[in-house]
Amino acid sequence: MRVLIVDDDALMRDGLSTLLALEEDFEVCGTAENGQEAYHQCQVLRPDVVLMDIRMPVMDGVLSTKLIKQDFGQTKVVILTTFKDEDYVREAINNGAEGYILKSQSFASIVESLRVVCRGNTVYERAVAHILHSVLRGERKRDPAAPMSFR
């Protein structure tokens, strides 16, 4: 599987690249430090899967996911982030991400998540499962500033 690693943290990019290179079924075809660079890399490299951070300068991972899925629909996107914020989860899923996992996972779990997605399945961190459930049900996040209704 050809993997593009996208993260604004050079240590994270390099560490993941080094570790994934040890896996027989993975080839790190490139790295990018922001979503815009990731989009351009997808045009040239045509990765099977993009391992994408969310909060990055220039273009975030959520918008980049949308553009990649729009123009390179065969490329899978797995979000790898520290954020389990409801808005990020909703946007990533709505923009086509096949996975949403947290950086707190073990490397073995990250690798298995990539394999699951490359087999045509989806993978979501347990901590965001309740958000996924509400997204699938079409529920909207309640605005905490909205007035309560009278009963």
Tell me how many helices (H) and strands (E) the chain has: 6, 6
- Global pTM reads 0.86
Taken in order 29, 32, 38, 41, the sign of the CA dihedral is negative
pLDDT at 142: 52
What is the enclosing helix (H) or strand (E) of 76?
Answer: strand 76-81
The pLDDT value recorded for residue 105 is 92
pLDDT, mean of residues 41-53 = 97
CA distances from 68 to 40, 88, 92, 129 (A): 9, 17, 12, 24
More confidently predicted of 146 and 78: 78
pLDDT over 50 (residue 7): yes
Compute the half-sphere exposure of residue 52: CA atoms within 13 Å on the CB side of its CA.
40
CB atoms within 10 A of CB 93: 22
Q: What is the pLDDT of residue 141?
A: 58
CATH code of the domain occupying 2-136: 3.40.50.2300
H-helix or E-strand spanning residue 80:
strand 76-81
Predicted confidence (pLDDT) per residue in 101-143, tens digit: 999 999 999 999 999 999 999 999 887 877 777 766 776 555 5
Q: Could you state, in order of their start, the residue ranges of all structural domains in the chain?
A: 2-136
**With 0-12 CB in 10 A as exposed, 13-18 as middle and 19+ as buried, what is 122?**
middle
